[in-house]
């Protein structure tokens, strides 16, 4: 997951090799739009992925009964998300210098597209070009965005479960991050006493997950400046109606509902950028430096209906389960649980 999350800052693909990214940062709204088109699949995939894995039955625990779950979700990027069309009319300073105008996204494959940057500066221009970074789609199973996590649920009065999910906090010299979520499941079968002998359980569920990650960029070669960092914030919501058939050793479960999520990706700090000045005939006439502050601020939204079908096998208090969710980014979830009462 760390490798995949790091790729969110696709500017690192440039800055490790050259200073070409620096002129892209000067392109203001163009830089935000190009990066957003490139990054959207992994950002949307994270939102859809984090809304999965909340349950493996509609049945709630008895009072103070509980379970502990280790779960992995993987949101599969659809083929339509692997490329985006570069339309010159959408950009003020960027154009295709060579290669395909259909560019591979971060969840695509290799890129050959060379982007030209030409920014007016008085009667001259700030000029450069760069090759778009390759995608990582071929490097990860199922071309999917994963999200592992640990979750605990406990039964409270009124046939209701409270669930808490988290990832251990990361706090190193370069990365600081945390993930936490809370969910609530309420069993509706208590209102239909005539059906309480059936193995059927029906419930309503709502869940919220938030994730915050900060990367210290100060140690990256070629990025002169101060207080440089990239921040990633995500909020994911889901509401669902659940149903399950709970037999002694096998549970068949599913749910229908709606997912919604928002996320931001920012590049903060000051950046001192070196670039060439060229005249209208493309002759180099000067080399100058310029300082910019907080150059990137991107917002992402993902929402839509969902339907889940899964199977759980129980061996006493030990459970193993897996499910598949149909939505914009179809998602596979699998895990193990230790469940009591």
For residues 147 and 49, the answer to whether their CB atoms sit within 8 Å is yes
Q: What was the pLDDT predicted at 255?
A: 97
pLDDT digits (tens, 9 = 90+) for 83-132: 999 999 999 999 998 888 899 888 888 888 888 888 888 888 888 777 88
Q: Token pair of 2, please?
A: 């760390």
Give the strand pairing for 114-121 and 124-131.
antiparallel
Q: Output DSSP code: residue 120.
A: E
Task: Tell me the Ramachandran region of residue 118: left when phi exceeds 0, alpha when psi lies from -120 to 50, beta otherwise.
Answer: beta
CA distance 172 to 303: 33
For residues 163 and 56, the answer to whether their CB atoms sit within 8 Å is no
Q: Sketch out the chain's domains with CATH numbers.
A: 2-340 (2.40.128)
pLDDT digits (tens, 9 = 90+) for 210-221: 999 888 877 766
| pLDDT per residue of the chain (341 residues) written in tens, 0 to 9 | 333 343 444 444 433 333 445 557 777 788 889 988 988 888 899 899 999 999 999 999 999 999 999 999 999 999 999 999 999 999 999 999 888 889 988 888 888 888 888 888 888 888 877 788 888 776 776 778 888 889 999 999 999 999 999 877 777 777 788 899 999 999 999 888 777 778 999 999 999 999 998 888 777 666 677 888 888 899 999 999 999 999 999 999 999 999 999 999 888 888 887 778 888 888 888 888 888 888 888 999 999 999 999 999 998 899 999 999 999 999 999 999 999 98
Task: Dump strand ranges (E) for 157-249.
Answer: 160-171, 175-187, 200-216, 224-246
Q: Token pair of 277, please?
A: 């000045």
């Amino acid at each position: 997951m760390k490798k995949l999350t790091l790729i969110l800052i696709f500017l690192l693909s440039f800055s490790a090799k050259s200073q070409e990214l620096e002129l892209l940062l000067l392109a203001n709204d163009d830089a935000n739009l190009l990066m957003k088109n490139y990054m959207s699949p992994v950002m949307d995939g994270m939102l859809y992925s984090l809304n999965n894995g909340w349950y493996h039955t509609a049945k709630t625990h008895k009072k103070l009964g509980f379970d502990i779950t280790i779960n992995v979700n993987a949101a599969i990027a659809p083929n339509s998300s692997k490329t985006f069309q570069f339309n010159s009319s959408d950009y003020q300073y960027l154009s295709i210098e060579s290669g395909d105008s259909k560019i591979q996204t971060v969840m695509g494959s290799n890129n050959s597209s060379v982007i030209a940057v030409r920014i007016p500066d008085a009667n001259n221009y700030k000029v450069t070009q760069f090759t778009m970074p390759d995608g990582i789609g071929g490097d990860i199973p199922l071309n999917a965005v994963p999200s592992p996590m640990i979750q605990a649920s406990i039964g409270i009065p009124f046939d209701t479960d409270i669930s808490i999910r988290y990832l251990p906090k990361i706090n190193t010299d370069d990365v600081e991050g945390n993930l936490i979520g809370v969910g609530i499941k309420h069993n509706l079968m208590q209102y239909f006493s005539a059906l309480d002998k059936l193995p059927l359980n029906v419930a309503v569920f709502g869940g919220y997950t938030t994730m915050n990650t900060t990367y210290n960029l100060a140690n990256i070669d070629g990025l002169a400046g101060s207080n440089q960092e990239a921040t990633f914030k995500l909020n994911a919501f889901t509401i669902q109606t659940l149903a399950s058939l709970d037999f002694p050793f096998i549970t068949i479960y599913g749910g229908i509902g709606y997912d919604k999520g928002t996320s931001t990706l920012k590049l903060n700090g000051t950046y001192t950028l070196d670039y060439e000045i060229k005249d209208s005939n493309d002759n180099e006439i000067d080399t100058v430096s310029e300082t910019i502050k907080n150059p990137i601020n991107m917002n992402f939204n993902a929402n839509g209906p969902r339907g889940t079908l899964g199977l759980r096998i129980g061996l006493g208090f030990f459970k193993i389960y897996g499910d598949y969710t149909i939505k914009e980014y179809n998602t596979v979830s699998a895990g193990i649980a230790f469940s009591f009462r």
